[in-house]
Amino acid sequence: MSDNFDVVVIGAGPAGYAAAIRSAQLGLNTACIDKSLGKDGKPAFGGTCLNWGCIPSKALLDASHKYLDAKEHFAEIGITVKSVGIDVPKMIERKDKVVSGMIKGIAGLFKGNGVTGLTGVGRLLANRQVEFTPHEGDRTIVQAEHVILAPGSVPAEIPPTPIDGDRIVDSTGALDFTEVPKRVGVIGAGVIGLELGSVWGRLGSEVVVLEALEEFLPMVDERIARDSLKIFKDQGLDIRLGALVTGTEVNKKGVTVSYTDSEGEQTIVVDKLIVAVGRKPYTEGLFAPDSGIDLDDQGFVIVDDLCATNAANIYAVGDAVRGPMLAHKGTEEGVMVAERIAGFKPMVNYATVPSVVYTHPEIAWVGKTEQEVKASGESYTVGQFPFAASGRAQAANDTQGLVKVIADTQTDRIVGVHVLGPQASEIVAQAVIAMEFDASAEDLGLTMFAHPTLSEAFHEAALSVAGHAIHMVNRKKRS
């Protein structure tokens, strides 16, 4: 192994591996250091997203949704199933197989692009030196012209709910239950809590979600949040807002969770408790004292709009820096930094970062919420279209939700798109493209969408901004 590289990346999650691959594609001698080990104890590129987050959770969400469909909804479309069973170990085995295949895929991409993949611990020293300690072998010092820090994040913990890995687990542990618990408690009604609660609720668990905030999904458009809360409660998720957890007690019967709400002190007893109160940057042990990198009071690496730290030629990307902890946001930052090192001048448009909650129906959005636009004092117009009026949604027996388009009244430029419904995660991508190219609602209205598709709901919502929707009666009409 060479002791000198043009670029050394620490961390091989979506931000790190994208930075490393793009750097190598641009002709830079690149190494990527990652210390993750998989369930089998072997090196596992891919970070949290691939190993313990995005990919494994979606495998379980997809499997549990198919089970619930077969159990409760097939009869509605004329399919009779005599019995539907659950094999949780098989479900977990398939999830692990998907993850294993993806890990091998990242290793293959490194090899194919000429990235030197190093498995072990990387630590930033002064003067762009990186200390590399392999899982097996002696420590070495690597010199880099440029360093990209992509350490990722880890689940946050709170004192009242100490993780024991058995009864009380974090989001990682919740992906590996060996059977369906009778009662599941979830602390936190954010993206992770709702997704994990949905998985085990669909498979038969009684799920109680305790959320300290009084408001449900405050980062989501109010109409979308209100409608989704009703849908989730109808699905059987017992979501309790304003519930502040104060303590837990583990015994043979399960976990007794104490919390306070508007009615005073309360308790619930569950078999498994999932702590999903967010994530924190994983910067512990990443820096030597003389590395010169500044962190904020929450442990995030301080960077500018181009992901540069206060130290020359050292960058940080992904979950360890400001902004939403989203794999795709980190990926774009990693690619941007690699290209800037190579002499190009790309930028990340943080106004068009999409967000998704992979429940069913899905929730997805990009841009501003209506409450944000209203608070800013800007003049705006809203167009909406329900999936109940979509022929494709009706044919698929999946009609809950709507598409909402928010446009500036003066310019007609789209400032926000919010989707609650089937394949919202795919539909919002069209909104991102539209906003990236500064499209107006009229532009979308003049665009031809295939029929019948779920995407037509986005088209109709854009037409609705001007009162021109075809497949519903418009509340406002314009010439």
Residue with tokens 């689940």: 155
At 16, the amino acid letter reads G
Q: Give, for 34, the enclosing helix (H) or strand (E).
A: strand 30-34
Token pair of 405, please? 């388009």
Largest CA distance in the chain: 75
SS3 of residue 61 by DSSP? helix
Residue with tokens 């949040």: 225
The CA-based angle 467-379-351, given to 5 degrees, is: 95
SS3 of residue 314 by DSSP? strand
Secondary structure (DSSP) of 104-120: HHHHHHHHHHT-EEEEE
Token pair of 278, please? 């967010």
* 198 and 237 Cβ atoms separated by less than 8 Å: yes
* 188 and 357 Cβ atoms separated by less than 8 Å: no
Token pair of 340, please? 């800037």
Q: In this structure, what DSSP letter does residue 174 have?
A: G
Residues 6 or more apart in contact with residue 208 via CB below 8 angstroms = 183, 184, 185, 186, 238, 240, 268, 270
Q: Give, for 430, the enclosing helix (H) or strand (E).
A: helix 424-436
Residue with tokens 């072997």: 42
Secondary structure (DSSP) of 146-188: EEEE---EEE---TTS---SSSEE-TTGGG--SS--SEEEEE-
| Catalytic choice (135, 360, 418, 451) | 451
Separation in Å, CA 127 to CA 124, 191, 286, 343: 9, 39, 15, 21
CA contacts within 13 A on the Cβ side of 315 = 29
Residue with tokens 């009778």: 182
Q: In this structure, what DSSP letter does residue 70 have?
A: I
Give the other-Cβ count within 10 Å of 425's Cβ: 17
Rounded Cα–Cα distance for residues 117 and 438 (Å): 39
CA contacts within 13 A on the Cβ side of 418 = 25
Q: In this structure, what DSSP letter does residue 72 have?
A: I
Token pair of 189, please? 């009604």
451 is catalytic: yes
Question: Sign (positive/negative) of CA torsion 72, 78, 79, 83?
Answer: positive
Residue with tokens 């979600």: 209
Q: Which residues does the annotation mark as catalytic?
A: 451
